[in-house]
Structure 1
Amino acid sequence: MVNRKLFGVFLVCFLINFTSCKDEVSPVENKKPNIVFILADDLGAHDLSYAGSTYYETPNIDAIAKEGVSFVQGYAAAQVCSPSRASIMLGQSTARHGITDWIGASTGKKWGDERNTKVLPPEYERALKEEDITIAEALKAEGYKTFFAGKWHLGDEPYSPENNGFDINKGGWEVGSPKGGYYAPWDNPKLDYKHEGESLTKRLGQETADFISNNKDRPFFAFLSFYAVHGPIETTEDKWRKYRNKAEEMGIKNTGYEMERILPIRTVQDNPIYAGLIETMDEAVGIVMQRLKELGLDDNTIVVFTSDNGGVASGDAFSTTNYPLRGGKGYQWEGGIREPYLIKAPMFKNTPKVVDYPVSGIDFYPTLLEFAGVDIPKNHLLEGVSLVPLLKGETLTERPLFWHYPHYGNQGGEPVSIIRKGDWKLIHYYEDGRDELYNLKQDLDEKENVLGKHPQLAQELKKELTDYLTQTGAKRPEVNVDYDGIKAAELQKKRKTEMLQNLEKQRKEFLKSDFEPNKNWFDSKTTKD
């Protein structure tokens, strides 16, 4: 199985430029740009200070935005992690590569036995396919030294980062959250801790910086994939107190939640634990950016910063709000799929500071390969487009973007497929076959379904979406014949009363001056983090 994968890498080398697969590249020959790809987990579009947050503080990420280009209509390819991450690796939509839910989620009758829902989610791919060529494999074939640090969640062995084009892997394995937490002792077979209380987030930044130092004389592709800011939400006592006091200074609101369609949803950014977790991630980004500067590599290094889905406003830890976007992680609305989307390409002069063109995680693959002067592998089907013209101040033609998520989000999202084209977004729901149509230019928060006002347009978009799903062989949910409507109604009533009340109580606990989660603050009091 692994040998077939290695043969695929050999084939890419042959197709692109076999002589470039030599192990050593001299400094004189190193004219290709380095690439640092930074991927946050569950970070919302407005969880950064440059993007409008007045509560969270992210100076290092803000600097990337200031020095680079911000794509203000940047999207993840899915509303949950594994599908989105696969799309970055392959440049394909979820319907195409088949990883349509986070790896480990139940499907079919098993799901029905666990959850009482109207439809049963279909099966999905549980790892990247052997025949697929990842962006790391394509770059490695052209002489790049490749490195991965952090969250993988794209398959267990033998589908690890090492078997998908990465020469070095620090901390990437099958799990989707930091097992054991963000402070040592953590549980990770691919990354041991150095001392109790060590910050996992900063360690990943340090490992990435050290890789850069060790490979400064050859082109490299470093993929820093944070576990942060995924749950469990943890921080140090000092950072909690800083943001607890800041929330008080800004004025703590009486309520911080309201009901969304299925679950309560957070409406304010005032979680001091989450704010501390974000700041620690930003500090880790700073470690990497400072190392590039110290080594004199910043002028020849492309830096990407993005997230894999929207901020967690419902479900999980109910951490943040994505306002004015509706919803969050797991949801079909903009809050679930719009992301920070930054590209810093210092070799390009006079780039626009802001690009207002809908782009997706599927576009990174062709964009970075064009930067590197690497041809798209001939036997790899690519759906993304290169964004290099936009970075040059040029334009791209309008094209549709597709999302296929025939599953239920743990955060309240529903099984859907989506098409975005121009200013229009159509959502098709699998529970009852209904559609919603929004004009995002006029209604960014998706409050008004204008399907009845534009039936012809809706019909055209629906056909284009249906044709695409058919073409890709996308799997759809099946009706759950055992669905119990009475039981579902009882659960929904509890969500509107007990859950909402408990969330408000927890929110106020976090903001109490004497709040302490445990005797040693997440095993992190010994650190200087």
Structure 2
Amino acid sequence: MPTARLARFVLLLCGLLLIVGTRASAAEQKPNIVFILIDDLGWSDLGCYGNTFVETPHVDRLAQQGVRFTDFYAAGAVCSPTRASIQSGQYQARLGITDFIPGHWRPFEKLIVPEVTGQLPLDIVTPAEVLQGAGYRTGYFGKWHLGGRDHNPDKQGYGTTVVTGGRHFAPRFRTTPRVDIEDGTYLADFLTDQTVDFIEENREEPFFVFLSHYAVHIPLEAKPQTVAKYEDKPKPEAGINNPTYAAMIEHVDDSVGRIMAKLDELDLAENTLLVFTSDNGGLRQTYTGTGPIVTSNAPLRGEKGELYEGGIRVPLIVRWPGVAPQGAVCDEPTISIDFWPTFAEAAGAQLSQHQTIDGLSLLPVLRDPQASLDREAIYFHYPHYHHNRPASAIRAGDWKLIEYFETGNVELFNLEQDISESRNVAGQRPERVVRLKRQLAQWRDSVDAKMPRPNPKHDPERADEWWSRRTRKPLAK
């Protein structure tokens, strides 16, 4: 073979080998993981879940590029329990974090409810600790609500952290560690800045970043120009029609758009597992019955702070190019304890030395959204007074049973036929009630769920008084 032709052949062969090697290397890469948690976002608050008032183009585009889950549940009806479930992979009843920390208190009600564990135990192995062991850089930005400084995310495997608390505009929110912030800065923008900076700085290594927004939690606060847009927009008769709340949702949608743009800019999107969800259902109105009407979770019944679907069924969208099909919908019941094993499996992390994991990896339903997971039921335990009475619940297939602890009464719903939980069919299905009650009780025993007990100081005339666990005094109405 002539020398020139031989040289061209060698160059061509080397090029082919380089392409094959590059593709093999890309296939073996650990995916980056970006987890975006919104606070109090309801199931029907987004355009891709049927909302026609609020504008969420970036989240809607994310749904078009990934898998949208219709039957995904926050493990808790309020924030701290769900956050504990995400960080532990366990039902939060195992940890005693069954209400927000430090929890509600009604000292004259029929039942004394369990006191809440005040922090995520440091011996819990979080996803960040698992992923650090697999070579990941880790970051956490935003609300934590799982304990004070000695139990912050920097003590739980998150290498770069800024924990925030307070309200939505500087200087009315605080940061740990302290960061100088210009007055008037919107918290959602600040947290997004931190997150995109983390992605930029760690783009050469696999990373796991947890963006934990405080929006759309009350107090309702948003940028005036966005509020004005929704004040001028024709309002639907039902659903979201609070202009400030709609503006807050748009602000977190903008946050998602900025993160998607940064991943595109750095050519990281194709190798990034991006998750968007909420910590509990939407809030209609504060538990004291005062303040503005915030939202509606219709067609779901109920709201944050109760075990009807409106309190626990929330949006979940997952984008993972090359793994999760674009524009797919998954109807399989899933729950926030499933994130821990999902992230561990995606990263190829070793699991044998870690704590009991109650969740299941979502990878089977990400690869095939029509697949099923191998479990009989998912469970909920909220033995506290809030928007409803202390209760537990079980969902097994299309059936859901709620058991109330004051009376022992139960409600049974077929969610396939009655997503609004408007028809209690317990009286028509006594055998199913017995079976599900038994299954729920066995689960409570298995996780050592703390139960309420009779209150010797019960006073019907004062039963509706709310007291502060911090001050040990009544809350002003």
1:78 positional shift = 0.7
* 3-state SS of 1:171 partner: strand
Matching of residue 208 in structure 1 with residue 185 in structure 2: no
1:292 matched to which residue of 2? Answer: 263
1:485 positional shift = 2.2
Contact kept, 8 Å, 2:168 with 2:215, in 1: the verdict is no
Contact kept, 8 Å, 2:154 with 2:161, in 1: the verdict is yes
1:419 matched to which residue of 2? Answer: 394
| Pairing partner for 1:340 from 315, 322, 336 | 315
1:471 positional shift = 1.7
1:403 matched to which residue of 2? Answer: 380
Identity of aligned residues (%): 42
Letter in 2 for 1:100: T
* 3-state SS of 1:223 partner: strand
1:487 positional shift = 4.5
| Alpha-carbon separation, structure 1, partners of 2:146 and 2:112 | 23
2:60 matched to which residue of 1? Answer: 62
1:74 matched to which residue of 2? Answer: 72
Matching of residue 433 in structure 1 with residue 408 in structure 2: yes
Gaps of 5+ in 1: 1-26, 173-177, 254-266, 492-529
| Alpha-carbon separation, structure 1, partners of 2:447 and 2:313 | 24
| Pairing partner for 1:220 from 201, 207, 231 | 207
| Pairing partner for 1:380 from 355, 376, 396 | 355
Tell me: CA distance 1:28–1:314, structure 2 relative to 1, closer, same or farther (3 Å): closer
* 3-state SS of 1:64 partner: helix
2:38 matched to which residue of 1? Answer: 40
1:467 matched to which residue of 2? Answer: 442
1:524 matched to which residue of 2? Answer: none
| Alpha-carbon separation, structure 1, partners of 2:173 and 2:346 | 37
1:211 positional shift = 0.4
1:191 positional shift = 4.6
Tell me: CA distance 1:215–1:432, structure 2 relative to 1, closer, same or farther (3 Å): same
Letter in 1 for 2:443: Y
Number of equivalenced pairs: 436
* 3-state SS of 1:275 partner: helix
Contact kept, 8 Å, 1:402 with 1:420, in 2: the verdict is yes
1:366 matched to which residue of 2? Answer: 341
| Alpha-carbon separation, structure 2, partners of 1:288 and 1:44 | 21
Contact kept, 8 Å, 1:38 with 1:223, in 2: the verdict is yes
1:282 matched to which residue of 2? Answer: 253
Residues 128-147 of structure 1: matches in 2 within 5 Å?
A: 128-147=120-139
Contact kept, 8 Å, 2:133 with 2:349, in 1: the verdict is no
1:484 positional shift = 2.4
| Alpha-carbon separation, structure 1, partners of 2:267 and 2:401 | 47
1:369 positional shift = 1.3
**TM-score scaled by length of structure 2:** 0.87
1:521 matched to which residue of 2? Answer: none
* 3-state SS of 2:184 partner: coil
Contact kept, 8 Å, 1:206 with 1:288, in 2: the verdict is no
* 3-state SS of 2:151 partner: coil
When Rg is computed on C-alpha atoms for both structures, the one with the higher figure is 2
1:486 positional shift = 3.8
Tell me: CA distance 1:440–1:191, structure 2 relative to 1, closer, same or farther (3 Å): farther
| Alpha-carbon separation, structure 2, partners of 1:191 and 1:286 | 27
Post-superposition Cα deviations, 1:277-304, rounded to whole Å, max 9, x if no partner, equal 1111111121111110000000000000
* 3-state SS of 1:188 partner: strand
Tell me: CA distance 1:185–1:443, structure 2 relative to 1, closer, same or farther (3 Å): closer
Letter in 1 for 2:29: K
**TM-score scaled by length of structure 1:** 0.79
Residues 148-159 of structure 1: matches in 2 within 5 Å?
A: 148-159=140-151
Letter in 2 for 1:381: T
Matching of residue 187 in structure 1 with residue 177 in structure 2: no
Gaps of 5+ in 2: 1-24, 467-477
* 3-state SS of 2:274 partner: strand
| Alpha-carbon separation, structure 1, partners of 2:437 and 2:189 | 45
Tell me: CA distance 1:489–1:165, structure 2 relative to 1, closer, same or farther (3 Å): closer
Matching of residue 328 in structure 1 with residue 306 in structure 2: no
Tell me: CA distance 1:311–1:112, structure 2 relative to 1, closer, same or farther (3 Å): closer
Letter in 2 for 1:291: K
Letter in 2 for 1:284: S
| Alpha-carbon separation, structure 1, partners of 2:198 and 2:264 | 14
Letter in 2 for 1:104: P
| Alpha-carbon separation, structure 2, partners of 1:376 and 1:351 | 29
Matching of residue 455 in structure 1 with residue 430 in structure 2: yes
Tell me: CA distance 1:30–1:223, structure 2 relative to 1, closer, same or farther (3 Å): farther
